[in-house]
Amino acid sequence: MELFSKFQRFKGMNTKPSHTRISKFLSLVLRHRPEKIGLKLDPQGWAEVNSLIEKLNAHGLMVTRKILEEVVATNPKKRFALNDDQTKIRANQGHSIQIDHGFKPIEPPEILYHGTAQRFLESILATGIQKRNRHHVHLSADLDTATNVGQRHGKVVILHVRALEMHKAGAEFYLSENGVWLTDEVKVEYIDY
């Protein structure tokens, strides 16, 4: 059975691939499991667009270049980027596979936010915010984004992270192309709830 059909059934999707469904499948193969469709990423996480389209189509997800460009352009979270000549694509962040993002350290604002679910609060207040299987902890500069992220996981809790104080104590911060702030971890002493 084609991989996309299995993915749709696993995620409870119908058979017509919408932009959202395509985006979710792209997240799977560009951030976590490129080998699932035989895709090769370069060290910075870029994949050849023509190769991606060919492999997506071979695995049951009928995507054209135009559809792929629309998915990238209209994704509300700006998860993906095309290079300048539109021949390569990658996920902006959130990888569980090893890639070199090429991020440069940058000074963060005084406060950043982390949206999470109420059920995770006790653990976070005990151990801090951990990156787990990703490259970085994801933080946002605005409450709306943090709220939207947290709502995906249940009853939302917004944590205030004293990012500038962390930075002054030696923590490095990065800003991804789609505006997500990244750091290795957030220790408990920098979290206000």
User: Which CATH number goes with the domain that contains 176?
Assistant: 3.20.170.30
Number of H helices, E strands in the chain: 7, 11
Tokens at residue 107, please?
């000074």
Whether residue 177 sits in one domain with residue 120: yes
The β-bridge relationship of strands 112-117 and 156-161 is antiparallel
Distance CA 126, CA 144 (A): 25
Residue 36 resides in a domain: yes
Residue 70 resides in a domain: yes
Domain that holds residue 144: 112-192
**pLDDT value for 3:** 53
CATH for 56:
1.10.10.970
User: Which residues are registered as beta bridge partners of 117?
Assistant: 156
**50 vs 6, which has greater pLDDT?**
50
Whether residue 52 sits in one domain with residue 19: yes
Residues whose CB falls within 8 Å of the CB of residue 146, separated by 6 or more in sequence, listed in order: 113, 114, 115, 139, 140, 158
Exposed/middle/buried for residue 182 (C-beta within 10 Å: 0-12, 13-18, 19+): buried
Residue 74 resides in a domain: yes
- pLDDT tens-place string over residues 53-70: 999 999 888 899 999 999
Distance CA 181, CA 117 (A): 19
Is 98 a residue whose pLDDT tops 90? no
Count structural domains, the chain: 2
By mean pLDDT, which of 2-11, 54-63, 75-84, 166-175 is the weakest?
2-11
Whether residue 13 sits in one domain with residue 61: yes
What is the signed CA dihedral for 15, 16, 20, 26, rounded to 10 degrees? 70
Residue type for 143, please?
L
**pLDDT value for 156:** 94
Whether residue 74 sits in one domain with residue 15: yes
Q: What is the DSSP letter of 73?
A: H
SS3 175: strand
Residue 54 resides in a domain: yes
- Summarize the confidence of residues 33-54 as an average pLDDT: 95
User: Which residues are registered as beta bridge partners of 91?
Assistant: 80
- Summarize the confidence of residues 65-94 as an average pLDDT: 91
**pLDDT value for 14:** 46
Residue 96 resides in a domain: no
Whether residue 151 sits in one domain with residue 79: no
What is the Cα Rg of the chain in Å? 18
Residue 134 resides in a domain: yes
Whether residue 132 sits in one domain with residue 179: yes
Q: What angle do CA 83, 133, 172 make, to 5 degrees?
A: 70
Whether residue 162 sits in one domain with residue 124: yes
**97 vs 187, which has greater pLDDT?**
187
SS3 167: helix
- pLDDT tens-place string over residues 127-143: 999 988 777 899 999 99
Whether residue 117 sits in one domain with residue 84: no
Average pLDDT over the chain reads 88
**pLDDT value for 170:** 97
